[in-house]
Amino acid sequence: MDAIEALKTRKSIRLYLAKPVPKEIIEDIIDCGRLAPTARGVEPWEFIVVTDVDTRRWIAKTTDFGGFIADTPVCVVVLCRDTKYYLEDGCAAAENILVAARAHGLGSCWVAGDKKPYAPAVCEKIGAPEGYKLISLLALGYAAENPSKAKRPLSSVLHWERF
Ligand SMILES: Cc1cc2nc3c(=O)[nH]c(=O)nc-3n(C[C@H](O)[C@H](O)[C@H](O)COP(=O)(O)O)c2cc1C
């Protein structure tokens, strides 16, 4: 699958098969995350791959809209050091991960991290040192659903030269 197809066919998946994701695929997906653009070349990110069922259940009940992580084979916790552009950098890495997952035939879903009241608790649970911010919790696995969601058409969002 080329990059354009992966971008155009990615969608949020919240129901997964109980089929493990091979370690080499997870590593390649995280490799794509770490190659994201980063302001001033800081690379403030860390990626914690959580497969442990107890930790996933804890995340599921701690988040407000991430209950499905309990039944998702992999949850990638994206953290960034608290730098000037931590949020932009972390989001760029997270998006790379979602698109790479799609290119590997996996489903994914971004669960909110930054700004959520549970962010510090998640950082503590996964053993992050002081000074790290939770960017997102990324569910990954083989999809067991094929949802469709209407999006704003190109003609309503694309403006040439001026708004
Ligand atoms: C910053 C951010 C936070 C999100 N948080 C959640 C969340 O907590 N739970 C969830 O199920 N989906 C979450 N999503 C996924 C969005 O609901 C989803 O991307 C949106 O509905 C568009 O659907 P699509 O991803 O299939 O294109 C989040 C997405 C973003 C970018």
Q: How many residues are listed for the chain in this entry?
A: 163
Q: Is the pLDDT of residue 137 over 90?
A: yes
Angle at the Cα of 80 from the Cα atoms of 110 and 76, rounded to 5 degrees? 35
Q: Which residues contact 116 (CB under 8 A, 6 or more apart)?
A: 63, 64, 134
Return the residue whose CA atom lies nearest to atom 27 of ligand 1: 11
- Does residue 91 line the site of ligand 1, with CB under 6 A? no
Dist CA 63 CA 111 (whole Å): 8
Q: How many Cα atoms sit within 13 Å of 25 on the Cβ side?
A: 18
What Å distances lie between residue 148 and 9, 13, 88, 145, 157, CA to CA? 10, 10, 28, 10, 20
Residue 1: its pLDDT value, please?
Answer: 80
**Residue nearest to ligand 1 atom 3, measured at CA:** 112
Distance 4 CA to ligand 1 centre (A): 20
pTM score, whole prediction: 0.98
**Residues of the chain with pLDDT > 70: what percent?**
100
- Tell me how far the alpha carbon of residue 123 lies from the centroid of ligand 1, in angstroms: 20
152 lines ligand 1 (CB under 6 A): no
Tell whether the model's pLDDT for residue 149 goes beyond 90: no
What stretch of H or E contains 133?
A: strand 132-141
When pLDDT is cut at 50, 70 and 90, the band that residue 154 belongs to is: very high
Mean pLDDT computed over every residue of the chain: 98
Whether residue 87 has pLDDT greater than 90 = yes
Indicate whether residue 11 lines ligand 1 (CB < 6 A).
Answer: yes
Q: Which atom of ligand 1 is nearest to the CA of 114?
A: 1
Cα–Cα distance measured from residue 28 to residue 73, given in angstroms and rounded to the nearest whole number: 16
Run of H or E including 94? helix 86-103
Sign of the torsion angle spanned by Cα atoms 121, 115, 13, 61: positive
Closest residue CA from atom 7 of ligand 1: 111
Task: Tell me the two tokens of residue 129.
Answer: 């040192």
Which amino acid is located at 70 in the chain?
Answer: A
Q: Is the pLDDT of residue 86 over 90?
A: yes
pLDDT tens digits for 20-69?
999 999 999 999 999 999 999 999 999 999 999 999 999 999 999 999 99
Q: Phi/psi at 155 (nearest 5 deg)? A: -60, -20
Task: Give the span between the Cα atoms of 137 and 85, in whole angstroms.
Answer: 19
Ligand 1 centroid to Cα of residue 153, in Å, is 18
12, pLDDT greater than 90: yes
Q: Closest residue (by CA) to atom 11 of ligand 1?
A: 65
